[in-house]
Structure 1
């Protein structure tokens, strides 16, 4: 059937707006311009499908006194059987048993009562209408009814400041006016006071008052701020008898430390594959979240993301790389679930590298992918995603250290570092949709033995750490978005670099000068003697490291640090309870290299590695890329 004919006519929706996470009644009217014969289905979907990602709840046709009661009215009475589907999808299918079916030009009225709107703002949210003829696939109709999902009332101000500034250097901060679900509140207005305070004693560095006008999208940048003293500071914003606090700011001199700290997000999806937002909204939301760098990673399969789509994304990245305050790079997600080849995000230094699609036979395994990428060594980067999640696990037998220098240690699928049985508080989980007092917040634990990050490190693989999302909502607030969909809130990553541009971003990634957190913007330095996170140190060149190593860890956090574990060769070598927002840790490891080193699984190399595992309030975590000492 010609899909151009599958168009709804005379579409009406009432009301036109609903608020996030509020129960609401919705009426949808339309005329269907096709005939649906007996045994066809007429389908309504509120959640699920390619781009309909959300946490909408309550849909049932059985009891008018319970939440989500739905009624379908036709011009003529018809014999229909309703079938509800909940879980990954929230939908109702009406099986048509009437001998005459549903005639062309039938007016249909759908009334939904006490349904629970999703917790994330969405413009023109589609109420999807599908049809299915006997023995055929479902068809999504065109000219769908839409509704505006708008934010709740103001709840808080989210203040995002740079983590590190140079003394007397002017800087910007971002104010996000948000509801309790971290959605932006449009047209916020009011008088606010911004105070810069020293972290320990509360000494004020500056205080300014400013009037926020209504002409904004809930997002305001304040420029020209300056701190005149060294130390750790934060910004406090006062509004309507309430106080809100920024992430910590380290004011330093150029002599203290030459690198700068930048925050980013490099794994997410727009509606170019299976995300909610347009690619333009996606990138603008990266900016509005106060991120310094970022990109989307659309799925590699042709039916999801076309060559034309990828070309458009590359052009958009070039545009954003011209901005002084943002850097980007091209990436995509190579996906082969249930095979052991894993999901892998692939990033390109330049646009002359081809896209290797997993659906094509000569690229459809990790060994084939590696073979084709090897000619682009140092210009292509592979980053394993949810390596220990059972459905999409990664077999570490397939590996090339010239291409794979990082691993996504945390995402919405959980902490892939180590197993739940060994104490992982955020183990790999799968989706589980549930809402209410008795619903589970998280899905089932689905970890795969032998596929954790620690298993790769045990083999001798030199993998630094990033954290991110696999986000499909495209909101990227600095505070967590924690939808009722069974998986975890997105994480965030940081790089240490001389400046913010495409080349420095790439250099930081391939040299592992990065760390990841579950969300908090902590300032983290990890050093062994003069070597920094991500370094690989040859014992042949630094023989004195054989007998003794000085380990230093410095953390400044916006939330309480509960404890720290220093991992040496996959074992907790040193641990301390902190119960503070900062820590300066320094100690020696005096065990001889030869007595504690491991053997590489693939080559004649002995190695030793260290990294910090940080536990913070509200089950937050962070990890710095390891430092390796090797002997060939």
Structure 2
């Protein structure tokens, strides 16, 4: 099927009423326009509310058959023309009108009346009500400037407070306060007074001040606080509005500035440069509005989606938004080969002069070829496998290079790739499913691929730390609990322990696997084996005491109750601890002999064991620490 946008306007005299709709509301809509060219016989007119390259949403109810049911759409033409309506639902929500054995002349007027349709749950300014014409030979004419409508937030539902996870005495820090509706959209009409407090774990509460929030704030503002704590302590920022109180993520105050600090990031998302909803500029603005410390976009490598010129513009935007000690950016893109076993892999560059390796080009079109071409840039590139066990985009782990690939995205909107549903994964890989109502399921079908899970790679001896993200296509609140009715999961978030808040330091921490992933909650996690930390590789010949005993310390500070902590050894649960609190700080010991535990690396002369923590939180949330490995080469 050929598709193009005609240079001249295909329609004229566009009309839409109403021009503003609130998210997740049932509405009646009228749309009209006049045909501006002669439409040949046996052509189709398409009106699309969901689907296509950049039209990602969860709009529901569109049908041309029953006027008593939700979403009924009626088309009236002047002059009157006979047509056959065809409804398509699923990834797309559209209606096609087939004009059988008749052509339509320029000047034909179309008037649509849509009744009780359910608006998407995500805010979108000037949303396209897409209009396309499909000719008999399959050519599709896309209306470049179709009728548009504003999708606005609903009423205020809650307040989200985002704070840094760590501070030290006398340090000034900023919090972000977001006034949100039920669907995590910012509420732009809010003229109210709120009160801000600082609370500690013992219930002590200190009033900091009152803030008059104005419409001009557009539902979000920053507030500066000075840390006056003199001892190590956990505290929260509380916002009170009328009779309701809202808490920030936990903040750990330390006696002095620590060697490593915790930074939160989101490094896998899409803009209109490939198949996302938001522009580059808006996407980066929203990364910062989400209270993130670092982030980037990762457009698809396919030339028909992201051109060379697009990538140059992205590189410029990445550099413009990088501000040391404030917000860090890294250039990256998504290498994508579905149904091949080569997987979808996000590739990040420390040096943007390195060329883009497009998966559609023969000399780069397999994981083996990609690795060959990336090897000369070792240390300056980082590969991170994405939805490795999702069947359509699964990863065959046979071709692998640990110098290039040091991390894996253990969780995204496609679910947890850790292990299979049969192995107890509560968030298994799922594919999109569009449905709404009492009989619709919230999540799509489980589509996991045996042999492609993260644990399968670890079993082979691969040293992979963990990240979490989203594969975000909405760009409205990256890392926020955006949970559309589209069958997949809300996005996750990743944390990095870094010595400094600079691009070089963040990059080094990623390469050293000093990171972990979460399904969303900003939980503070420290995972140590003696002097060693998550992501470390220990040579047992230099530490022979580890042959007989290994004592781990785990410290967790969580905004949600910790239900269980599971210490995983060689992919099996070694210890499971019931916590049922927001705080945990204890040691776990493994006294089994090394000689009875070690596995053999699939490619190297190396024996190894590995450990990581899986933290089960309230509301079906999970966090995973990067593993610690103990190895012996021979």
Contact 1:266 1:294 in 2 (8 A): yes
Alignment of 1:192-341 (within 5 A): 192-199=194-201, 201-229=202-230, 230-254=232-256, 257-322=258-323, 324-341=325-342
- For residue 553 of structure 2, give the secondary structure of its aligned residue in structure 1: strand
Residue 83 of structure 2: aligned partner: 80
Residue 516 of structure 2: aligned partner: 515
**Cα distance in 2, alignment partners of residues 60 and 2 from structure 1:** 27
Contact 2:5 2:142 in 1 (8 A): no
Give the TM-score taking structure 2 as reference length.
0.98
Contact 2:300 2:333 in 1 (8 A): yes
Contact 1:8 1:142 in 2 (8 A): no
Cα offset for 1:323?
A: 5.4
Q: Are 1:525 and 2:522 an aligned pair?
A: no
| CA pair 577-36 structure 1, distance change in 2 beyond 3 A | same
Cα offset for 1:6?
A: 4.7
Cα offset for 1:101?
A: 1.6
Q: Are 1:70 and 2:73 an aligned pair?
A: yes
**Cα distance in 2, alignment partners of residues 566 and 387 from structure 1:** 23
Cα offset for 1:479?
A: 4.2
After the TM superposition, which of the residue ranges 498-507 and 326-335 deviates more from structure 2?
Answer: 498-507
Cα offset for 1:143?
A: 1.6
Alignment of 1:376-525 (within 5 A): 376-476=377-477, 479-525=480-526
**Cα distance in 2, alignment partners of residues 595 and 14 from structure 1:** 72
| CA pair 155-80 structure 1, distance change in 2 beyond 3 A | same
Contact 1:182 1:477 in 2 (8 A): no
Contact 2:42 2:102 in 1 (8 A): no
**Cα distance in 2, alignment partners of residues 378 and 244 from structure 1:** 43
Residue 37 of structure 2: aligned partner: 34
Cα offset for 1:138?
A: 2.3
Contact 2:167 2:227 in 1 (8 A): no
- For residue 573 of structure 2, give the secondary structure of its aligned residue in structure 1: strand
- For residue 622 of structure 1, give the secondary structure of its aligned residue in structure 2: strand
**Cα distance in 1, alignment partners of residues 102 and 608 from structure 2:** 75
Residue 347 of structure 1: aligned partner: 348
What does the per-residue CA deviation read over 1:147-167, in whole Å, with 9 as the maximum and x for residues that have no partner? Answer: 000000111110001111112
Cα offset for 1:496?
A: 0.4
**Cα distance in 2, alignment partners of residues 613 and 588 from structure 1:** 16
Cα offset for 1:36?
A: 1.7
What does the per-residue CA deviation read over 1:276-311, in whole Å, with 9 as the maximum and x for residues that have no partner? Answer: 000111000000010000000000001000111111
- For residue 345 of structure 2, give the secondary structure of its aligned residue in structure 1: strand
Contact 2:470 2:479 in 1 (8 A): no
**Cα distance in 2, alignment partners of residues 620 and 95 from structure 1:** 47
Residue 151 of structure 2: aligned partner: 149
| CA pair 585-439 structure 1, distance change in 2 beyond 3 A | same
**Cα distance in 2, alignment partners of residues 137 and 334 from structure 1:** 29
RMSD: 1.2
**Cα distance in 2, alignment partners of residues 205 and 498 from structure 1:** 31
- For residue 422 of structure 1, give the secondary structure of its aligned residue in structure 2: coil
Residue 613 of structure 1: aligned partner: 614
- For residue 420 of structure 1, give the secondary structure of its aligned residue in structure 2: coil
Cα offset for 1:435?
A: 0.6
Structure 1 gap ranges (5+): none
What does the per-residue CA deviation read over 1:334-355, in whole Å, with 9 as the maximum and x for residues that have no partner? Answer: 0000000000000000111100
- For residue 392 of structure 2, give the secondary structure of its aligned residue in structure 1: helix
- For residue 606 of structure 1, give the secondary structure of its aligned residue in structure 2: strand
Q: 1:47 aligns with which of 27, 50, 57?
A: 50
Contact 1:37 1:96 in 2 (8 A): no
Count of residues in Structure 1 that have an aligned counterpart in Structure 2? 629
Cα offset for 1:213?
A: 2.5
Q: Are 1:60 and 2:63 an aligned pair?
A: yes
- For residue 5 of structure 1, give the secondary structure of its aligned residue in structure 2: coil
Q: Are 1:135 and 2:143 an aligned pair?
A: no
**Cα distance in 1, alignment partners of residues 475 and 75 from structure 2:** 33
Cα offset for 1:205?
A: 4.4
After the TM superposition, which of the residue ranges 187-196 and 148-157 deviates more from structure 2?
Answer: 187-196
What does the per-residue CA deviation read over 1:62-91, in whole Å, with 9 as the maximum and x for residues that have no partner? Answer: 111110000111101111100000010000
**Cα distance in 2, alignment partners of residues 477 and 506 from structure 1:** 20
Q: 1:186 aligns with which of 167, 185, 188?
A: 188
**Cα distance in 2, alignment partners of residues 410 and 309 from structure 1:** 28
What does the per-residue CA deviation read over 1:415-456, in whole Å, with 9 as the maximum and x for residues that have no partner? Answer: 000000010000000000011111010000000000000000
After the TM superposition, which of the residue ranges 243-252 and 321-330 deviates more from structure 2?
Answer: 321-330
Contact 2:345 2:386 in 1 (8 A): yes
Contact 1:432 1:486 in 2 (8 A): yes
Residue 106 of structure 2: aligned partner: 104
- For residue 375 of structure 1, give the secondary structure of its aligned residue in structure 2: helix
Residue 92 of structure 2: aligned partner: 89
